[in-house]
Amino acid sequence: NAGVTQTPKFQVLKTGQSMTLQCAQDMNHNSMYWYRQDPGMGLRLIYYSASEGTTDKGEVPNGYNVSRLNKREFSLRLESAAPSQTSVYFCASSEGITTQYFGPGTRLLVL
Amino acid sequence: AQSVAQPEDQVNVAEGNPLTVKCTYSVSGNPYLFWYVQYPNRGLQFLLKYITGDNLVKGSYGFEAEFNKSQTSFHLKKPSALVSDSALYFCAVRDGAGGTSYGKLTFGQGTILTVHP
């Protein structure tokens, strides 16, 4: 039981490049989330998926898109990376409104 | 709108002393409250939660938190701190009213806890 896994662990991009962050969970949770963590700002919700087939914007969705591929997987895409998207990205999952469980994170540096 | 405040950026305590990490919140309905801990270069780990019931909640690693509705607070406590408790602690809240905020947590900015030997 791996919990929530994320790939890659670390990525460097140039401004304008695109990439997809992958997230998978093996806890059979319905809900999944993408957050970004910046110093002094806690975690901010980018997008979430309450259940398979649905996605909704969070607090800071601009510049991102998501895909809920199936119940296990929820990917985050940066179409044209900007330096302001340099951050640590966390994926999480939960069964409804209960405890969210987090992955180990992806460190992204945009030059 | 829901919000969380952690008024202290840093808390320093000596090993063996009690520790408190403060959290206050604002929601329109009944709050669901959570504490998470983050060690360097790691993801967030769940410590404890308050949904309903007893105001004193016990969690992992000897931590506990007290829900105080009148003061809208949910402070994290531990009777005797360990050096290994040094980490970044986050308080989070969800409005129990639900609706379009389904499952969405709002996090505080985090408090760095340092326990000195």
Mark yes or no for CB contact B43/A90 under 8 Å: yes
**pLDDT computed for residue B103 by the predictor:** 63
B60-73 average pLDDT score = 95
Mark yes or no for CB contact A100/B49 under 8 Å: no
Residues A21-73 have pLDDT tens digits of 999 999 999 999 999 999 888 899 999 998 888 999 998 999 999 999 899 99
B79-103 average pLDDT score = 82
Q: Which residues of B touch A41 (CB under 8 A)?
A: 109
Chosen for mutation from A31, A41, A99 (greatest number of chain B CBs closer than 10 Å) is: A99
DSSP β-bridge partners for residue B38:
B44, B88
A70-93 average pLDDT score = 96
Residue A104 CB contacts under 8 Å (≥ 6 apart), including other chains? A5, A6, A9, B42, B43
Mark yes or no for CB contact A43/B49 under 8 Å: no
**pLDDT computed for residue B73 by the predictor:** 97
> What is the spatial distance between Cα A61 and Cα A44, in angstroms, rounded to a whole number?
10
> What is the spatial distance between Cα B26 and Cα A97, in angstroms, rounded to a whole number?
18
